[in-house]
Every structure is written in C-alpha cells, then in structure tokens.
Structure 1
Amino acid sequence: MLRPAALLIVATLIAGCASPEEKLALAEVHHTPLAFDPTDEGDLGRWWSNGAQMLRLDQTGEYALYRNANRYQPPLERGSWARPSYAQVRLSPYDDAVDRWQRVPITKSGDVLQLHVRDLAPMTPIEAPPVVIEDDLIGVWQAADGTLVLGADLVYSFSPRSAASLPVPPAVVAGHSGGWRLEGEQLRLRPYPANMGAFELALGFGDDGTPALRSDRTTFRPATNDRDLSRSFPAP
C-alpha cells in the first residue's frame, strides 16, 4: 500500500506529465459546481407551468397534469409523486396504460427551479394558476324561481322558490345538486342522480343588458353587483 507521501509524489508526477489541455479539463472536473445546492431541496408541492400546460404537485403526494392553463378542465393525467433524490421527481400515473413511473429531472435556470416533464417545455413554479372564465362563474346566481350556487369544486346546488318555472324538466319540483362544467359558452349542469338528465344555461345577458345565465325557462343573474364579469361577459 502506498503511503500518503508516495501518493503525493505520484500525483505530482502525473500532473507534471499532463498537457495544458488535460490540466484545464481536470480543473473543470474538480471545480465545476452542481446545477444547484443539493441540500436546498425547495418546496415542490405547488403549481408549475410552462405557459401552455400546468402541473399540480399536491402536498398529499398526488399530482395532476393539465393539457392547458385551465385547472377546471379534466386533467390529462393523475397519479402520485415522490422525490427520490434532489435531482429528480418521480411521477406514478394511476392509469395502467401509462408507464409505471416517469422520471422528471430537476434543473435550475438562474435562481428558478425547472421540472422537465417528458417532452414538454420546462415548467417553472407559479404562485397560482391563471384566472379563467370558470373563476368568474363561481358564486351565487339568483332568478325569480330560485338560487343557483356554483362551487369551486365544480359542484352546484339549486334551491327553487317554486315549481312554476325551473331551468330543468317540469317534473322536477325540489332542490337538487350535481356537477357543473363550462363547455364553450354553455354552462352544462349534470344533476344527481344521473337519470334526471343534464341541462344547459347559456352565458349571455339579461333584458337589462347585465351578465346572465339563461335558459328557455329562466334567467340567473349574479346575487351581488360587486363582481366584475367584463372578462367573461364582454359587452354585447
């Protein structure tokens, strides 16, 4: 076994025999820093976006990958995620048709972390997802016949005042709830139970020119006048 002094002599001889180019290469190997500090793990449980798609990494260990910047649309993929090392995230889709897990490299551009999901453009963290039309629809809407509440969880509830004129088949006389989704300029309501059938409300304006959700039977207007709906309901 070589003693420390002998190792030093050997290393000196090797360095002395190296060409200037080889010495430069050795210096780069020994002194080039990592892409980012491996002890600075950062908080990955948040929203990520590349301007076209979005990724939500929940603190619960679940994730959702969206095909666009609208989080209210059905996600392209759901699953669980973990961080096995400082340099990567693993996505495990719930869909058996997709690979069991996917490696997502973590890099850093300046001071900003980036996630590289498959062949998508790099994603960077964002404070919150972009505001979309669905955000404007969430809240309480009132009509002469009752009250419609659209929740951020895409669940609605309808409480009729009477059975005279409801935005549902005439046989329905009681309050009901279900799921809601925006499809183009139509608000589609799917009551529970499903045998009631779905129905639609159109985004438009009332006779007084104010934003409204309309059907052949009734017109819903915002319950309060302090909501700016000009983005979702452009002036006619």
Structure 2
Amino acid sequence: MRIETLSTFPGMFDSIMGSSMMRIAQEKGILEFTAHDLRDWTHDRHRTTDDDPYGGGQGLVMKCEPIFEAYDEIAASGIGKPCTIFLSPTGEPFSEALATELSVCERLLFVCGHYEGIDERAYSLADKTISIGDYVLTSGELASMVIIDAVVRKIDGVLGDEAGAIDESFYDGLLEYPQYTRPASFRGMDVPAVLLSGNHAAVERWRREMSLERTARLRPDLIASANLDASDRTFLGSLGIGGEGCSR
C-alpha cells in the first residue's frame, strides 16, 4: 500500500511513521509512505497556505489553490489515482469497518487541515471525508495518524501474530476480553483460575463471556448490532441484558 499525506507540518509524521509497526511495515516493503509539504505548492516568499475568511470571523482558513495544485501533481505521479481523504468533524464517523474498507486500497492520500478550516471548494477533491470523533483538534495530522495506524495494522503481513487482530475489540462488534500475563498473583490480585486450567474450551468460553459482559457494561450500544448466538443471549440474560434481535 502507498500512503501519502499533504499538510503544512509534514514533520509531525516522523515519529509515528518511523517507529514500531509502521517502521517494520515499510522495511518489509508492505507500506510506502510519503509526507508532502503543502508549502511546496505556494508561490509567494512567505509560502502562505492560509488567509482571512470571507465574511469575517476569527482564525485563518487554508487556501484552496495550493491544495488543488498539490493534488494535481501528486495524483498524476505513481500508479493509480489515490483515494483522497479529508479529515473533518463534519465527516463520516471512523469505525473498524471503515478501517477494513480502506485497508484494501492500493493508494491513500490524506489532506490534513489546520487553523480554522479548509476552503470549502477543496472538498470537491475528496473521495471520503472522515471524522474520528465529536471534538475538534488543532490539526488534521493527528487525526490522519489515528486512521493510518488502524488501517495499516489490517494489511496482511503487518502484524506478527496474524490471529491477533481477530481477538481485538470491535472485530466481531464487541469489546475485547481482559488479558493477563505472569505473575499469576500480584499484590493480592490473581489471574482467573480458568486461564491457568489448560482447558482450552473453557478458556474460550470465559473470554467470550467476559467480552460480552464488558461490552454490556461499558458500551451497551454495541450489543444491539453484535454477532450473538443463543448461548451469548442466554449469558446476557443472566446479566439482565437479553440481546433480543441479535443473531449469528
């Protein structure tokens, strides 16, 4: 996969893209990443990318001209037109399903806003406009890093344990079960006995039930659309949550 970003602060990506999973994915040749500097497409000595908003108001708005010029050049380079993503609180809510959808794209281009926003005309370039939550960030760089991380880890060969992604939160619509490692007892807190039993069937059922209980307690909104079977609904019923209308 080829991932590119267009922003006024391309150096913000150095740390996350040069560390851990992102670095390994690039070393393996699975991921190719480039952070483009929007200022490279400006034409004044101050390399201006923003201006006062029409109609007045506080803050600065990112100009559309450098964005369009940058897009034209970036999209024309390489193989295939990129799926172009803008980050905005007005966008489609980001989700695990959307991360999966983006993970099969050959090329992604993230256009990262800053300041008070982006000239509305630039959004005509967007294939998708995405929001990572109901709050406002200083920069789209941060939001794009979240999405890039969630997307790249879904690409085959990136995670060391390919089964790891299957057990994670939201994979089947539920939060992940509690995890433990050595020591078995620490400051009066013991690892659940079932995890030490060697009974794999019992361990799997315990994990499923803990996942159901955690989701019902912390994110009950997820239960209605989760993939549940009869035993899941029976367990939820024992917690006082029926899980009606859900099926596997």
TM-score by length of 1: 0.26
Larger radius of gyration: 1
Give 1 or 2: higher strand fraction.
Answer: 1
TM-score by length of 2: 0.25
Larger relative CO (CA 8 A, sep 6+): 1 or 2?
2
Give 1 or 2: higher helix fraction.
Answer: 2
